[in-house]
Structure 1
Amino acid sequence: MKNMKYLLFCSVVLLFTTSCEKDFEDINTNKVDPTSVDPVSLFNNALIGTSFATGQLKYDAAIVQQIVTPNSGILTGGNHNQDNRFASAEVWDDYYETVIKHTGDLISTLNERPEHSNLYNMTRIIQAYAFMVLTDSYGDIPYFDAGAGFSSQILLPKYDAQSEIYKDLINQVKDAVSSLNSSAEEVDGEILYSGDINKWKRLGNSLLLRLGMHLTKVDNSLAMQTVQDAFANGVMQANVDNYVIRHDNNFTNPIGNFLNGSEANNFYLVDTFVNFLADTNDPRLTSIAVRYVGAKSGTEQTEDNASIEPDEQIGMPMGHDNSSIGQAVSEAGIESFYAFSQVDRTRMVKINAPMYLITYAQTSLLLAEAATYGWISGSSSTYFENGVRAHMELMAEYDEDAAIASDEIDQYLMENPFNGSLEQIYNQYWVVSFLNGPEAYANFRRTGFPQLVPNPYPGQDITGDFIRRVTYPSSELAVNKENVDEAVARMGPDNLDTRVWWDKE
């Protein structure tokens, strides 16, 4: 009896063990969580991530005197020339935690997969663009070690000198563009150019042109060579080549979302910008601006009192806060600061508005500058007119009610012909870079134009006339202090006065 029980027990154990071994792999395979991510989807996430965060309104757009708020607290920044590390962290966090993370992962995984060579090189171009924005904003930043948390387990990346970053960015973009191959695999599903290799090459060369022009103050020889290389290989030719993030109701425009939400009544067009457009009868003022005539509060900013007429626009002066803005209101002869002009959030900054990062208009004006130096062939005047015309034609892409008729564009160019001056090119670059704060700010520091009157707000955190960089996030000071300290020792104090490498006095 004992033997029979023992044999029965062994049979059950054997049957159970066999069954477990047979089903072991199936049982321990997770059929819900993905084991890999489509690289094109990851790439598109990186692309979408380059759409600027709201930090550009708090610093860049205010410093170059296009958009400002009188409010302080979490909105403090260029409006009062004060250090606000909450605001300065926004571009850093958005770009490192999304764009650089995704591009770093893609580059490490696609590097040895020749079937994805085009996607690999597209990724390098987008990563170079993101790093340019970051280093132009902060100066020395994590670069060679950045985005390597997954591939190399580098959790506390060292900071690299901007001079070395720029040299490598130029080399990376050149190599990426030359390696793009229309005979290689198609990149189905990428959302910028639908896999059009020629457009990707023109984007890469236009980025290269921008990188080169940023260096005119610090390394004229490298600037000239880089610009000539970009021009020779072909830059953007029309608005269809623009690097634009097209938003929808699911992937909303960060600026549009911000200005149509909690901050709808807090940001206004600066009088410097409004007056510049008005003084030259620029039709873009009608496309950009709205003023809620007679509004005494945010709730009184309604469709009924909205005016886009250029002669009714009144920009907000710099240098005020909540306690002093009443003086500006009185001097302007309006009811409240809610009656100053704003960028129209029903057209140009609606939640699904496109965001332009590198454009044919900007590229054409940089070519006008390069032609003025004699670096490239072609007419400065033609490049200048192409740039202005392209930006005016772009207004229709924000909203059909913002479109500018071709005869209005012709009239403007006839009344404001190119006079051959660099100042005229730079001033137009300021206009065509509206809502592209990082580039408008970079070009202002590089050229000194437009000639702005320094912000008169008292109690500033700067000793010079303008903010020269934004400060590192507090999180970096807390967790990566050793590497931050090394960068500060090389670059200069972590404050608003320190100039980035290419911003030479």
Structure 2
Amino acid sequence: MKTYNRVISIIILFGMMACESFEDLQLDPNRPVQAEPSLLLTAIEVDAFSTVQVSAALASRQLIFTNSASDNQYYGWQRASFADYDQLRQVAKLTVEAERTSNDSYKALSLFFRSYYIIKLTNTFGDIPFTESTKGEAGNFKPEYDTQESIFIQVLSDLKTANSLLTADSGDILGDIIYQGNILKWKKLINSFSLRVLMSMSLKENNSVIDIKGKFAEIFSNPEMFPLFESNMDNGALQYLDVEGNRYPFFNSNDLRTAYYMEKSFVDKLKRNRDPRLFVYADRDNNGRQLQETNPVAYNGLEGAAPLSENTNLILSGTGSPIDSRYYNDPINQPSLLMGYPELMLTLAEAAYRGWIPGDAEEFYREGIRASMEFNNISPHETEAYLDHHMNSYVTAEGLRLILEEKHTSLFMNSGWESFYNQRRTGIPELSLSNQIINPGGIPKRWMYPQEEIQLNLQNMNEALQRQFGGQDNVNAVMWLLRQ
């Protein structure tokens, strides 16, 4: 195992160095360069699967921050970055190398990663450059913006193609630190991700051009053609190692140790539902240190919308549970998920609730809970006790709320901004607001385009703004994805 860990670390380091030197050599036209797709793949995987972050937990009312008034907590954000286009350029190189080596497996993965990054970007802004987005080497430094609708249509097509390209004869996948070249597991991730994309479009379920319900049912109903995650063993997960450069991203983080506390509505929900994940997400507050670790009374959250001074005073008085110490003390902790089996099961539960697929929404709901508990090392006995508690019983009239609240709980500190995007799409769970919120419009719907676009691509950006929002670039504008 030690030898394996060292090999993985060397691959990651070498992959990152290779991508950097490849970029540098591109500047010299007299030095033709080829990069092994395996080296490109490793670096792309490390970036794409690194989804552990506190910003989404702040915006999703799971954590609060006490060192200052956080823009994520008080909804004061403005512009975001186009940095993911740097990764898309690496993906474009992977595509070139896949063609050069005639390896359909790498072609499939390049389509998947292109889809993944483009969905991240369009979820952030709305319309973005896509068709012309990585053509700088061809002299196009001012790409036009594609409509969000056309982006989703193309992504769904690309994901379907990626799944079909992966076969027993499509070529070896070297440099794969996620699934170690397992073709079936990649197909499961691609198809499970396709269902995430389709569910993110639920407000467009009556759009006959896209046929969201039909596409969802096609994937779900054909497991031989479109295999899906079957357990947590299939998770799209980046495993951490107790090796320099490969440890859990908040290991030894003093900020996480001293400045991040659990949000009140989140803790109250966990306590109300007798949820054992409370004890692995949070630590007891100072006033509860003498109580048993499994006594819910020892845990209290702080209001995400309350004034900063009010929260800091409560902490000084001993009230307020910090995040569990494993998040900053354990160099391995738990994997970073691009997407996991719990999310898939709860997505299927929502699809069954909406009538998109046959099947029992309650069964998917209960399996999603079991999978989340397992991911967080909760015992089967505790899990079944939770499922038997009347507050967690599935009731059809409350089905959508129950499913989405469970998804919100299961996405704590994993899967990037999915917890926020699900809330943005459905309004569940309700997120607290007050006069402390920086944004006059409440919870923002998007981020503004980067400042660099004003300087470098103003005409195309303005055309996209006019097309979407009447020319205004603001965080409260409603993108196509969120309009019924």
Please tell me the TM-score bracket, short chain as reference.
Answer: 0.7 to 0.9
- Residue in structure 2 matched with residue 386 of structure 1 by the alignment: 367
Instruction: Indicate how the Cα distance of structure 1 residues 487 and 61 shifts in structure 2: closer, same or farther if over 3 A, else same.
Output: farther
Deviation at 1:368, TM superposition (A): 1.1
Map residues 117-156 of structure 1 onto 2, 5 A cutoff. 117-150=104-137, 152-156=138-142
Deviation at 1:156, TM superposition (A): 3.1
Q: 2:232, 2:371 within 8 Å by CA — same for their partners in 1?
A: yes
What amino acid maps onto 2:125 in structure 1? Y
Distance 2:474 2:291 in 1: 43
Deviation at 1:261, TM superposition (A): 4.0
Distance 1:135 1:126 in 2: 14
Could you tell me which of 32, 46, 50 is aligned with 1:48?
46
Gaps of 5+ in 2: 1-27
Aligned residues: 439
Distance 1:235 1:197 in 2: 12
Distance 2:404 2:125 in 1: 23
Q: 2:257, 2:323 within 8 Å by CA — same for their partners in 1?
A: no
How big is the alpha-carbon RMSD for the aligned residues of Structure 1 and Structure 2? 2.8
Instruction: Indicate how the Cα distance of structure 1 residues 261 and 335 shifts in structure 2: closer, same or farther if over 3 A, else same.
Output: closer
- Residue in structure 2 matched with residue 418 of structure 1 by the alignment: 394
Deviation at 1:182, TM superposition (A): 1.4
Instruction: Indicate how the Cα distance of structure 1 residues 489 and 148 shifts in structure 2: closer, same or farther if over 3 A, else same.
Output: same
SS at match of 1:277: helix
- Residue in structure 2 matched with residue 197 of structure 1 by the alignment: 183
Distance 1:123 1:485 in 2: 30
SS at match of 2:297: helix
Could you tell me which of 435, 445, 449 is aligned with 2:424?
445
Instruction: Indicate how the Cα distance of structure 1 residues 462 and 147 shifts in structure 2: closer, same or farther if over 3 A, else same.
Output: farther
Q: 2:95, 2:106 within 8 Å by CA — same for their partners in 1?
A: no
Deviation at 1:358, TM superposition (A): 0.7
Distance 2:153 2:312 in 1: 49
- Residue in structure 1 matched with residue 12 of structure 2 by the alignment: none
Map residues 358-397 of structure 1 onto 2, 5 A cutoff. 358-395=339-376
Distance 1:384 1:349 in 2: 32
- Residue in structure 2 matched with residue 343 of structure 1 by the alignment: 323
Distance 1:254 1:134 in 2: 25
Distance 1:472 1:499 in 2: 14
Map residues 79-90 of structure 1 onto 2, 5 A cutoff. 79-85=73-79, 88-89=80-81
Distance 1:305 1:311 in 2: 8
Q: 2:163, 2:187 within 8 Å by CA — same for their partners in 1?
A: yes
SS at match of 2:338: strand
Instruction: Indicate how the Cα distance of structure 1 residues 476 and 253 shifts in structure 2: closer, same or farther if over 3 A, else same.
Output: farther
What is the TM-score with the length of structure 1 in the denominator? 0.80
Identity across aligned pairs (percent)? 25
Instruction: Indicate how the Cα distance of structure 1 residues 320 and 255 shifts in structure 2: closer, same or farther if over 3 A, else same.
Output: farther
Q: 1:142, 1:159 within 8 Å by CA — same for their partners in 2?
A: yes
Q: 1:202, 1:234 within 8 Å by CA — same for their partners in 2?
A: yes
- Residue in structure 2 matched with residue 398 of structure 1 by the alignment: none
- Residue in structure 1 matched with residue 444 of structure 2 by the alignment: 467
Q: 2:247, 2:331 within 8 Å by CA — same for their partners in 1?
A: yes
Deviation at 1:174, TM superposition (A): 0.6
Deviation at 1:448, TM superposition (A): 1.3
SS at match of 2:96: helix
Deviations 1:463-487 (A, max 9, x none): 2x32111222323333332332222
SS at match of 1:375: coil
SS at match of 1:210: helix
**Which deviates further from its counterpart, 495-504 or 346-355?**
346-355
Distance 2:161 2:201 in 1: 20
- Residue in structure 1 matched with residue 54 of structure 2 by the alignment: 57
Distance 2:119 2:108 in 1: 17
Distance 2:140 2:54 in 1: 32
SS at match of 1:109: helix
Distance 1:40 1:306 in 2: 50
Q: Which has the larger radius of gyration?
A: 1
Deviation at 1:57, TM superposition (A): 2.9
Map residues 304-343 of structure 1 onto 2, 5 A cutoff. 309-326=295-312, 329=314, 335-336=316-317, 340-343=320-323
What amino acid maps onto 1:126 in structure 2? F
- Residue in structure 1 matched with residue 279 of structure 2 by the alignment: 286
- Residue in structure 2 matched with residue 481 of structure 1 by the alignment: 458
Is 1:78 paired with 2:72?
A: yes
Distance 1:293 1:132 in 2: 42
Distance 1:478 1:263 in 2: 36
- Residue in structure 2 matched with residue 25 of structure 1 by the alignment: none
SS at match of 2:460: helix
- Residue in structure 1 matched with residue 262 of structure 2 by the alignment: 269
Deviation at 1:235, TM superposition (A): 1.4
Q: 2:285, 2:300 within 8 Å by CA — same for their partners in 1?
A: no
Deviation at 1:61, TM superposition (A): 2.3
Distance 1:184 1:171 in 2: 19
Q: 2:350, 2:403 within 8 Å by CA — same for their partners in 1?
A: yes
Q: 2:192, 2:344 within 8 Å by CA — same for their partners in 1?
A: yes
Deviation at 1:180, TM superposition (A): 0.9
Deviation at 1:256, TM superposition (A): 1.6
Distance 2:443 2:154 in 1: 29
Map residues 104-183 of structure 1 onto 2, 5 A cutoff. 104-111=92-99, 113-114=101-102, 116-150=103-137, 152-183=138-169
What is the TM-score with the length of structure 2 in the denominator? 0.83
Q: 1:141, 1:159 within 8 Å by CA — same for their partners in 2?
A: yes
Instruction: Indicate how the Cα distance of structure 1 residues 326 and 306 shifts in structure 2: closer, same or farther if over 3 A, else same.
Output: farther
Deviation at 1:314, TM superposition (A): 1.2
- Residue in structure 1 matched with residue 17 of structure 2 by the alignment: none
Distance 1:368 1:459 in 2: 33
Distance 2:240 2:139 in 1: 34
